[in-house]
Amino acid sequence: MSCLLCVFRNKRRSFKCQFCKRFVEKSKELREGLEYLEKGFDRIFRECDLIEEKINVIVGIVFRRHRYSAEDLLDSDHMEKIKSFCGKIKDDIDRWEAVGRLPLRVEMHYNDKAEEVRERVNEISDMVRERRPTFWERIGGFLVGLYRSVVERLPLFVRGFLTFRKPKLVGR
């Protein structure tokens, strides 16, 4: 059931009512295409929300640290799902265009939503990279950096003793 504003205000100017969120268009292809895009991009934005929730989760009372490292968040299943959903929607749009059943408004809507997703993913990756480390993460990062800088300056055979691994020889 449509609201009164759908009937009176949306005279071919928009494809979706801004009040009741109902599709107003008459064309079946256009309506189905827009509904498909809405559902697909809603899934993508849900995955983005799940990643954002995990960014600043801190565990521990005394030794507080982030629960998920930056690498864990950027290489998580949620990011893989986002890439997968985006690829699926792009393939469907390309297939509709190849068959000649892609209305211009659906293509414009897809381009707008794809740009929103791109901005959101860039925003999330910036948030992950720029989050402040906790006190213990800073100390741990300092110690790891110190260890690496000392070990890099040692001769190869001494490095093997420290890391308990055989040094890799170049000719074999």
Output the 3-class SS for 95-148: HHHHHCCCCHHHHHHHHHHHHHHHHHHHHHHHHHHHCCCCHHHHHHHHHHHHHH
DSSP 3-57: -HHHHHH-SSS-SB-TTT--B----HHHHHHHHHHHHHHHHHHHHHHHHHHHHT-
End-to-end CA distance of the chain: 75
Residue-level pLDDT at 164:
64
What integer pLDDT is reported at residue 43 of this predicted model? 94
Q: What is the pLDDT of residue 168?
A: 61
Q: How much is the pTM?
A: 0.66
The one-letter amino acid at 138: R
- Using CA atoms, how far residue 137 sits from 34, 61, 141, in Å, is 46, 14, 6
Tokens, residue 49: 């929300």
DSSP state of 69: -
Query: 3-class SS at 5?
Result: helix
pLDDT along the chain (172 residues), means of 10: 55 57 63 88 93 83 77 88 94 90 86 94 90 82 86 76 61 52
Which helix or strand (DSSP H or E) is residue 59 part of? Answer: strand 58-59
Q: What is the C-alpha separation between 26 and 15, in angstroms, rounded? A: 9
Instruction: Identify the pLDDT of residue 32.
Output: 84
pLDDT value of residue 89: 94
